Structure 1
Amino acid sequence: MSLSAETLDRYMTKGRDWKAVEQLYQLAVAGHVSSSGLGLEPVQKCSTSCDPKCKFPAGIISDSPLVSTLPSASSLSKRTNFIAWSEQFHNSGVSTSTATDSGMKTGTTGSSDNHSASCAISDTTWNTPHHPEVNNFSKKVKRDKRPRITYQVELSYFGPGFCGWMEQPGGIRTVEGAVVAGLRKVLPKSVGRSAISSAGRTDKGVSAIGQVFSFHTREDLTPEQIAQAIEAEAEPGLIRVVSVSRRPRSFHATFGAKWRRYVYLFPLRTRGTMHDQETLTSKDYNLSLRSGELPENEDILQPEKNCQAEDDGTQADKIDPHRVLGEIDVQRVSELLSQLVGKTLNYSAFARDTPPGKNCVCTLHVARATVLRTSQHRMTSTANHPQHPSSIRNVENDNSPESGEFMCVELVADRFIRRMVRVLVATAIDLAVRGGHAGRKDVHHNNAGVSPVLTDSETLGNSNGLTSPGLESLLDLAIAQDRSKTARWPAPAIGLCFVGTLPQKQNIISKDSIQCIWSDDDLNKAVLRFSKLLQFKTVSSPDTETHALHVEEFKRLDEHLKTSYPSVWSSLTVEKTGVGNHSYLITWAGSDKSLDPALFISHIDVVPVDPDTEGEWTHGPFSGDVAEGYIWGRGAMDVKIGVAGLLEAASWLLLQGFKPTRTLMFAFGQDEEVGGEMGAGPTAQLLASRGIQLDIILDEGLGISVDGYPPYTDYPLALVGTAEKGYASIEIQINTVGGHSSAPAIDGSSVADIMGRILTSLSLESPRPTLVSPVTDFLKAIAPHAKTEGLKELFENCDDPSYRYEVLYKYLLVDSPGTAAMAHTTVAVTGIKTGIADNVLPPHGIINVNFRLLPGDTEASLYRYLERLVDSDAKYVTLAASRNQAASLASDVTSVSGRHWKLLEQAINSVYQFKEGPPELAPLLMSGGTDSKHYANLTKNGILRFVPTTNTALDAHRVHGVDERTAIQDFGRAVCVYQELLHLFSEP
């Protein structure tokens, strides 16, 4: 049986030796304890970051700074004074309230436990003016011919001395507030919070020994100037600047972090004296540990409430927190955590204060728990580091009264969401104390589907306990995505420390390519043209005659293209096509008319912006802002960059006097996002009417994943779509009698009853999975770079029937939604319509179901699948094709052994190089549809789908989501690749 929420909270706080944790972090911040002294595995010195034996690629900032570290700003005497001051701080008057209570809104990008509480410190003055009007520091600086310098600063700070990272109004003490105040003293212009980008935003009470932030200025500052200015803004020992370095202009501490590393120290011992016990078990102390995280108007530490729970006979509540101190099964905690390693999951169940619909997908690379014993005299671990994440550190016996014993939980992930680490720790402790299982429950598969199904005995609800008896592992809880089944309150903030980050790999533009090396002036002008392109609200809609939601926006965009790319409009043949003439067909005639043209496709339309999310954008969705090394706006990724990139490339080649041998054509559609019937469709018909056959088509695709393809490989991959899934939407129309709500049907014949049964069946029974090309081609392409030898063997032999079952059921279908989509035709309910009035039982209802078809599946097979699901309610149900978009089958698969595949590889490798080498081209089955389907019957050598930009796993939610953007340097590289492709594809 699980611990109740109240008992678990007392178990984590009452009598625990949190003072030892505090002192250990104080010494770590001062530079006298390394990360290995906190129980973390040291960085192995790998020759390359893709060394399969290396758990941590070289470059972890906390252990291997990019530059020499600065001298410690905190001497031993300062540290002694600081410890005395910190105790005074804990005894001073501190009032806390959440950001919601104080009317503030805090961000969550790349952060863990990053909800900054608002604190008022009564006996300490802290002058931190707030500048809400500052939107972009670079805009505040007058035009200056001096080059802009980007500085990276590595920082350590003691969490209990601050009210979190984020700058707050009203003189609140925060780390960012101290940083901003310090920088204002050495910079000539006012600097605001938006000028600072950080790798993570920590909550009140959370320490850091590897925080990284960046800022830019035109002032030439020394590391000492920056360090002294920042450290002067806090009492001795609160902040230490570890290192300062200069970085490329495009560097951004938030978006440039490949992953982040946290440690949580949980004390396994009690304080030694009765006075300490009384202090550490007091209500005020327990409240301070949670840093004001109690739900509004609720006090869980009332003795009456706790005693009542015991009187009710709840066995879990009878656990004596003093008796069980130190009895946590650390190995069990480590086993529970290890089940999360390498999996991309939605961690919404472990989030707190995160709005519904917020992206909560993370990939944990390391998750383990070990035992750490330290001496306050030595502050070092007494044992070797484990060889396996779930191993428990062997420790020497140390029974001295001054020694400390801790459970050290270490987590490394691409990103963390709000309070995720602390809720994971609290939930893992609960499961370990009550004997939770490390592994998942068996996954049951029926004949038709592959969705995990809980047996009848595995109920999800348990109102009396913290977690459900049917969900016995952290992995189960993550999959269930139910916050009510995880720890109600996070573990105390004082135990958490942000250790460091790994910067994203830096791409290199090859200098021996064609003439595409940009001067700053050239690149800036091209970026401004692209920025302007993003400001037109060319939203497509199926509800208008031309699919143009705002016709005037398409007309304004047309004028922009004419004036921005005059050489293209004057030298090439530009035709307006599509219904309403909002699409383009541009022809660059080649010298050899016998050669079939090559066609490059993009589109000028974009998806709409959800009004409810518009306020969440860092920069307006149609602002086209150029800030922080990026160009922001809807269409920056999907896919106006293709339009701008091709036109920039053509303009440069025309300037150089280039003349193609083969005719080159550009087709820019007006309604790709709603099917392309009014843009690409008529344009393709126009080409067919002229008898034109195409040599090759290049359309939009996924680009270069610098993270590889988690969890299978972290080697950079150029993901090229060689086929795309089909598309179909089918309405399930329900017709029944209806009636008055006062007398609902008792035989299950109401619209609601029928809908419930159908929706349940749709969620549990997916079409049968299988492996098809290009999925098998993809697995074989990444096999040489697989993280383990076992994966390598599986993927190399995925065509072999003896390996196929394991590839499907052990990996693709369970690792992530993206990998699962590779293995079967997906089914998604995208609309439910019913209801007339509150007092009327509706007689009609519609469920809209969207399918993305694997090669080989047909529309007829979808109808057979649905007919089987609704068989028991067949007399009430009619199936009909949706009227929103025409159905299409999966495309043919383009060969990866042909000439054009090699030419694409050559163009990409001429521009992009990584430390590991050139990116591996990997053929991919694309789930989304593109305009290329309209031209498929015109091409002789198939279709390749690729956009020459880089992305990471963190960027996936930006497409069609909030904060769509493209890096400035990536835009320049895209133009370079397009130039190279125009050269190569034009040759015979």
Structure 2
Amino acid sequence: MKKVLLIILGILIILVAVLLIKTYTYPFKKNNMGTGEGWKPVKNDSAVMHLSGGIKIPTVSTGSLGEFNYEPFARFKEYLKTTYPLVFQHTENVEVNQYGLVFRLKGNNPSLEPVLFLSHMDVVPPGDADIKNKEENIFRPEDQPLEPVTKVAEDWDFAPFSGAVANGRIYGRGAIDMKGMLFSLMESMNNLIKNKQIPQRDIYLAFGFDEEVGGKKGATQIADYFKKKGLKFDAVYDEGGLIMRKGNVAGIDSDIAVVGCAEKGFLSAKIKVKGLGGHSSMPPMESAIGKAAVIMQRLEDHQMKPTITPLIKEFFDNIGGTMPFTSRLAIANQWLLKPMLLSKLTKTNTTNALVRTTTALTMMKGSDGTNVLAPEVEFVVNFRLLPGNTVKDVREHIAKATKGFDVEVEEIDNTREASAISPTNTKAFKLIEAGVKEIYPAAIVTPYLTMAGTDAARYEIVSKNVYRFMPIKINRFEQQSLHSTNEYLSIENYLKMIHYFEYMMRNYDK
């Protein structure tokens, strides 16, 4: 027995030694964390007021395209023309599907593949909050005196479409998502033209108008326009990643710039569950709502399996060197500790979404009466597909969860596969790294998986290098303001974003 114990102890010592050796020799990326503050913003009131004026135009996209109010979009186009006359005069610019905008600044070398920067002019509604008095210049009807009245949605410091400039910030719906980026791109191109800095390759800007409702009329048709013209882009840059402020990512004492090299797919299914209806005084043994509850419980209890994709492996390899020892141990020894690593990752919402196709029960409808049994109950489940999982996989998963019940499954919204994964060993990605270091020298730059849908995926038909990143440094509160109340963009972030994109445009071939 003593000999057996000694053998076991010896094996354990060897195992611990192997784990430690692998941890300390694992090739975590050595991040070049520079010093200093990077480029410091220079006061630019005109750029700030340009964005403020753009926010004041309520380019809201909601519901089906037939219900759009297109008047603000027409007004927004005219606003850009009057605000940036140099850009319109010195580029080839076209309208795609009437409201989509494309600009081409010609370079000196037509043999080089162009680069494309994206944004979108539409914003989500500001919410249905009550109105209270505050600051927004809105005029009364024509039969009343033309004096400003003030109003603002509840929980907003300033009215959603005020474009208020205060406290070192620019307030309003779309400030971050994503008129701030749109105006940064226009300012950057305007500066290139004004300073006669002609790039080597063509630079394109493309602005959709329905990204928030799927991009079918905007980005999809702009991408098709490019494809029909035979264009291939060396890189496409869109939203989808941010610079997470130091302390926002547990265990990492640094700013982290997460660059979306892929985005999740999407499938929303409305599941109608049939049963016996009637009066609640004589209920059946199993109601439609009870059957629906069983299916929903199956969907939540037996979710699609988690996995560490190559993209997320690269993410951990990039940031792992700055993480606590226990995390480095698990990352470096996945041959043994992968189940433990996955178990830890799936215990929190944010990291769970990195490693699996997520399941979210979002809507439910049944009887309208307290004493009425509905013969049919419906609910909606939303899946965000991890690269590697397919729409077919999710459909089979739903079929398994609903097995044994009388159901109808209808896919709603915009079903789409997860995007392709763009490489990181490209000039296009390395320029993102250089651009980030220009404004935040100490930030860690890493590839990442974008959780939400963007216009970027539409452009895979014209480029294999599609990157999702907006160079603004924000905290959790600011991140949560997207699609919520009190959205704002700090003036510092805005001016640094202009400098970043101008740096990208000027230095792509240097």
- Using the size of structure 1 for normalisation, the TM-score is 0.45
**1:929 pairs with one of 433, 453, 473:** 453
1:597 aligns with 2:114: yes
Cα–Cα, structure 1 residues 823 and 524, in superposed 2: closer, same or farther, change >3 Å?
same
> Is 1:775 matched up with 2:309?
no
Cα contact 2:422–2:467 (8 A) shared by 1: yes
Q: Secondary structure at the match of 1:639?
A: helix
- Name the structure 1 match of 2:51: 530
Shift of 1:822: 0.5
Matched, 1:906 2:434: yes
Residue equivalent to 1:562: 81
1:880 paired to 2:410: yes
Given the alignment of the two structures, is residue 945 of structure 1 paired with residue 503 of structure 2, yes or no? no
Give the match for residue 792 of structure 1. 328
One-letter amino acid matched to 1:674: V
- In 2, Cα distance between the equivalents of 1:642 and 1:869? 42
Mapped pair 1:813 → 2:337: no
Tell me which of 342, 363, 373 is aligned to 1:831. Answer: 363
Q: Which moved more, 1:958-967 or 1:708-717?
A: 708-717
2-side partners of 1:781 and 1:959: how far apart?
Answer: 27
* Separation in 2, partners of 1:792, 1:628: 41
**Matched residue SS, 1:532:** helix
Separation in 1, partners of 2:170, 2:298: 44
| Aligned partner of residue 594 in structure 1, secondary structure | coil
Counterpart for residue 722 of structure 1: 261
Quick check: 1:802 aligned with 2:336?
yes
CA deviations over 1:87-111 (Å, ceiling 9, x no partner): xxxxxxxxxxxxxxxxxxxxxxxxx
Q: In 2, Cα distance between the equivalents of 1:846 and 1:569?
A: 51
SS at match of 1:642: helix
Q: Is it true that 1:843 corresponds to 2:367 in the alignment?
A: no
Name the SS of the counterpart of 2:57 in structure 1: coil
* d(CA) in 1 for partners of 2:358, 2:217: 27
How far apart, in 2, do the equivalents of 1:770 and 1:804 lie? Answer: 9
1:976 aligned to 2:499? yes
Question: What's the CA shift string for 1:826-854, capped at 9, x where partnerless?
Answer: 01122223335555422222211111101
Counterpart mapping for 1:309-708 below 5 A: 508-510=37-39, 518=42, 520=43, 523-545=44-66, 549-578=68-97, 581-612=98-129, 614-707=153-246
The answer as to 2:291 corresponding to 1:754 is: yes
Identify the residue that residue 158 of structure 1 maps to in structure 2: none
| In 2: Cα distance, 1:550 partner to 1:572 partner | 29
Asked whether the 8 Å contact 1:573–1:587 carries over to 2, the reply is: yes
- In the TM superposition, what is the alpha-carbon distance from 1:683 to its structure 2 partner? 0.7
Aligned-partner SS, 2:251: coil
Query: Are the equivalent residues in 2 in contact too, given 1:538–1:549 (CA < 8 A)?
Result: no
Q: Residue 924 and residue 554 in structure 1: after superposition, are their counterparts in 2 closer, same or farther (change >3 A)?
A: same
Aligned to 2:19: none
Q: Is 2:425 the counterpart of 1:897?
A: yes
3-state SS of 2:404 partner: helix
Counterpart secondary structure, 2:445: strand
Return the offset for 1:507.
8.4
Q: Is the 8 A contact 2:240 2:452 kept in 1?
A: no
Output the CA distance in 2 between the equivalents of 1:622 and 1:761: 44
Letter in 2 for 1:599: L
Gaps of 5+ in 1: 1-505, 512-516
The answer to whether the 8 A contact 2:234-2:428 is kept is no
Q: Secondary structure at the match of 2:383?
A: strand
Aligned to 2:135: none
CA offset at residue 938 of structure 1? 1.2
The one-letter code matched in structure 2 to 1:759 is: M
Equivalent residue letter for 1:939: S
Residue 962 of structure 1 is matched in structure 2 by 485
For residues 673 and 860 of structure 1, the distance between their equivalents in structure 2, rounded to whole angstroms, comes to 25
Q: Given residue 924 of structure 1, which amino acid in structure 2 is its aligned partner? A: Y
> How far apart are 1:691 and its partner, in Å?
1.0
Would the aligned equivalents of 2:223 and 2:461 in 1 still touch at CA under 8 Å? no
Normalized against structure 2, the TM-score is what?
Answer: 0.85
Answer whether contact 1:712 1:791 (CA < 8 A) is retained.
no
SS of the residue 2:93 aligns to: strand
Structure 1 residues 872 and 801 mapped into 2: Cα distance closer, same or farther (>3 Å)? farther
Shift of 1:939: 0.5
> Partner of 1:739 in structure 2?
278
Of 359, 383, 396, the residue aligned with 1:864 is: 396
What's the offset of the Cα at 1:667? Answer: 0.9
- 2: CA distance between counterparts of 1:588 and 1:835? 59
Distance, in Å, in 1 between the alignment partners of 2:337 and 2:309 is 14
Q: Distance in 1 between matches of 2:325 and 2:374?
A: 58
Count of matched residue pairs: 454
Q: Give the Cα–Cα distance (whole angstroms) in 1 for the partners of residues 38 and 342 of structure 2.
A: 38
* Superposed displacement of residue 895, structure 1: 1.6
SS of alignment partner, residue 774 of structure 1 = helix
Return the offset for 1:627: 0.9
Distance 2:101 2:273 in 1: 43
Deviation per CA, 1:18-52, whole angstroms, max 9, x where unpaired?
xxxxxxxxxxxxxxxxxxxxxxxxxxxxxxxxxxx
Structure scoring higher RCO (CA < 8 A, sep ≥ 6) equals 2
Cα offsets for 1:544-602 (capped at 9, x unmatched) = 33xx7321111111111111111111111221113xx1211111122211111111111
Q: Give the partner amino acid of 1:813.
A: T
- Please tell me whether Structure 1 or Structure 2 has the larger radius of gyration of its CA atoms: 1
Q: Give 1:769 shift.
A: 0.8
Given that 1:609 and 1:621 are in contact with CA atoms closer than 8 Å, whether structure 2 keeps it comes out as yes
Kindly provide the amino acid, as one letter, of the partner of residue 325 in structure 2: E
Give the alignment of 1:225-374 within 5 angstroms: none
**Secondary structure at the counterpart of residue 872 of structure 1:** coil
Q: Distance in 1 between matches of 2:495 and 2:38?
A: 9
SS for the counterpart of 2:160 is coil
User: Conserved in 1, the CA contact under 8 Å of 2:95 and 2:101?
Assistant: yes
Q: Is 1:509–1:973's contact at 8 Å kept on the other side of the alignment?
A: no
Q: Which amino acid aligns with 1:946?
A: F
Q: Spell out the pairing of 1:112-131 with structure 2 (5 A cutoff).
A: none
- Deviation of the 1:648 alpha carbon: 0.6
Contact 1:724 / 1:890 at 8 angstroms: preserved in 2?
yes
Matched, 1:919 2:443: yes
- State the Cα RMSD in Å: 1.9
Structure 1 segments of 4+ aligned residues over 4 angstroms from their partners: 836-839
Q: C-alpha displacement at 1:890, in angstroms?
A: 1.2
Residue 823 of structure 1: CA displacement?
1.2
The 8 Å contact of residues 721 and 946 in structure 1, kept in 2 or not, is answered as yes
- 1:756 Cα deviation from its structure 2 partner: 1.8
Task: Work out which of the residue numbers 853, 859, 876 in structure 1 matches 2:385.
Answer: 853
CA contact (8 A) 1:583 1:669 kept: yes
Give the Cα separation in 2 of the matches to 1:808 and 1:648: 44
